[in-house]
């Protein structure tokens, strides 16, 4: 049978991305244009700037994805586009472009949920490694916008192929900040700028035996014990900094370094006291502990053998190592996408579009952006 080649388009937040994926599994190209340099000076994503930048980048990004896959637009069998959740203005750029392409080429348009895309990213990765993942699984999606746990099953128990639809049940979610948001806010408090995850990840690893100047215990959750909460942790860091004014000079020194464009790890590390490094490591320990313990305990409770982790924070090295080590002890299998497939990309959107195309779940010209599209 001929391959079904889907063009995926992603523009829900601050990356403009396009990719070609064959039969829901084989990545022929994946192009991501990040806007981090634009949003950095504002300390976070500015929605108006994001949509303007998507508008500027979408055409060249799609063209590049086609070139890398050695294809013309006419060779595309369908177009998968992120419908939500995300920033409405940003989503609309991808949706409008997707609609126009589908209409002019006479090809089907497939609406995709961004979170479902993140789950498919793990399957794309497993396929690359020649591993076939077994459902049901517990899936943790952990990014700057989301921290949520799902149980994922095939809709029809007998179907395990790439064209099978899945069903989702939400087991838990954050009640306040997403984990990536906590990284970004703590990073800002400490003078490391935006985004916070990658730099704090590296600094925590460089902390060595620096003593933790404060201890953050496990977060107690009333009600659903699979829910998360990260705003208390961020507030605890804030209070700790307020009570200990001696952090102030180094925070200002780092802010001055950032203003000069010096934001690399090697440039910032010398501006960190051992106390700061100990604090960062303690913060990361707390985030990782919450994510790992709640995910694994829900898998154990449900009797599900597989745990999938996806989203920007899944790039965190300590999170990966701790998941792997803890899962081994519990006899669970854990899977992550590669770093490139962890953060927002369009290959995961094209992959998620494939089973929907196979099952004729298509959109027409009335497709609209949905800021808080539910996954099921």
Residues that bind ligand KG4 (CB under 6 A): 13, 143-145, 180, 183-184, 195-198, 201, 311-313, 315-316, 343-344
Question: Choosing among Zn ion, ligand KG4, none, which partner's interface includes residue 94 (Cβ < 5 to 8 Å by kind)?
Answer: none
Determine, following the binding rule CB under 5 A, whether residue 16 of this chain makes contact with Zn ion: no
Instruction: State how far the Cα of 49 lies from the Cα of 55, in Å rounded to an integer.
Output: 10
| Closest approach of ligand KG4 to the CB of residue 147, in Å | 10
First to last CA, the chain: 30
Residue listed under structure tokens 């977060």:
219
Which H, E and C letters describe 205-220, residue by residue?
Answer: HCCCCCCCCCCCCCCC
Asked if residues 68 and 28 have their Cβ atoms less than 8 Å apart, the reply is: yes
Instruction: State how far the Cα of 308 lies from the Cα of 355, in Å rounded to an integer.
Output: 19
Cis, peptide link before residue 45, omega less than 30° from 0: no
Question: Choosing among Zn ion, ligand KG4, none, which partner's interface includes residue 195 (Cβ < 5 to 8 Å by kind)?
Answer: ligand KG4
Q: Where are the alpha helices (DSSP H) in 4-46?
A: 36-39
Query: Which one, 45 or 367, has the nearer CB to Zn ion?
Result: 45
Query: Which one, 5 or 146, has the nearer CB to ligand KG4?
Result: 146
**Near Zn ion by CB under 5 A: residue from 344, 351, 353, 375:** 344
Query: Which one, 143 or 322, has the nearer CB to Zn ion?
Result: 143
Write the CB contacts of 289 (distance below 8 Å, at least 6 apart in sequence).
218, 322
| Closest approach of Zn ion to the CB of residue 49, in Å | 18
β partners of residue 21:
6, 27
| Closest approach of Zn ion to the CB of residue 371, in Å | 14
| Closest approach of ligand KG4 to the CB of residue 155, in Å | 25
Determine, following the binding rule CB under 5 A, whether residue 113 of this chain makes contact with Zn ion: no
Determine, following the binding rule CB under 5 A, whether residue 184 of this chain makes contact with Zn ion: no
Question: Choosing among ligand KG4, Zn ion, none, which partner's interface includes residue 316 (Cβ < 5 to 8 Å by kind)?
Answer: ligand KG4
Choose the stretch contacting Zn ion; rule: CB under 5 A; options: 153-161, 247-255, 262-270, 338-346.
Answer: 338-346
C-alpha distances in angstroms, 196 versus 188, 320, 348, 349?
7, 18, 24, 25
Q: Which residues bind Zn ion (CB under 5 A)?
A: 143, 344
């Amino acid at each position: 049978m001929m391959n079904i080649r889907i063009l995926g388009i992603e523009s829900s937040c601050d990356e403009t991305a396009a990719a070609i994926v064959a039969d829901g599994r084989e990545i022929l190209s994946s192009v991501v244009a990040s806007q981090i340099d634009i949003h950095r000076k504002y300390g976070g994503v500015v929605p108006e700037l994001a949509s303007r930048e998507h508008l500027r980048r979408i055409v060249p990004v799609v063209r590049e994805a086609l070139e890398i896959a050695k294809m013309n637009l006419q060779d595309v069998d369908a177009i998968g586009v992120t419908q939500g959740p995300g920033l409405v203005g940003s989503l609309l750029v991808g949706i409008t472009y997707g609609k126009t392409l589908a209409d002019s080429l006479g090809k089907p348009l497939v609406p995709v949920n961004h979170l479902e895309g993140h789950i498919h990213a793990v399957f794309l990765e497993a396929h690359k490694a020649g591993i076939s993942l077994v459902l049901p699984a517990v899936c943790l999606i952990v990014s700057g916008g989301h921290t949520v746990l799902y149980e994922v099953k095939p809709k029809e128990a007998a179907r395990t192929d790439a064209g099978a639809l899945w069903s989702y049940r939400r087991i838990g979610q954050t009640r306040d900040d997403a984990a990536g948001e906590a990284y970004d806010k703590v990073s800002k408090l400490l003078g490391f700028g935006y985004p916070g995850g990658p730099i704090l990840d590296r600094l925590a690893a460089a902390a060595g035996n620096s003593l933790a100047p404060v201890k953050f215990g496990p977060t107690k959750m009333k009600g659903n014990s699979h829910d998360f909460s990260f705003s208390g942790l961020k507030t605890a860091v804030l209070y700790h900094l307020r009570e200990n004014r001696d952090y102030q000079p180094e925070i200002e020194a780092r802010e001055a370094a950032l203003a000069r464009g010096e934001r690399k790890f090697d440039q910032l590390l010398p501006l960190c006291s051992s106390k700061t490094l100990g604090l960062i490591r303690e913060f990361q320990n707390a985030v990782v502990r919450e994510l790992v313990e709640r995910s694994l305990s829900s898998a154990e409770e449900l009797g599900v053998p597989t745990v999938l982790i996806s989203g920007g924070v899944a790039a965190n090295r300590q999170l990966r190592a701790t998941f792997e080590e803890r899962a081994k002890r519990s006899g669970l299998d854990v899977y992550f996408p590669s770093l490139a497939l962890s953060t927002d990309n369009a290959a995961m959107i094209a992959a998620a579009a494939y089973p929907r195309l196979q099952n004729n779940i298509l959109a027409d010209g009335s497709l609209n952006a949905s800021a808080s599209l539910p996954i099921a």
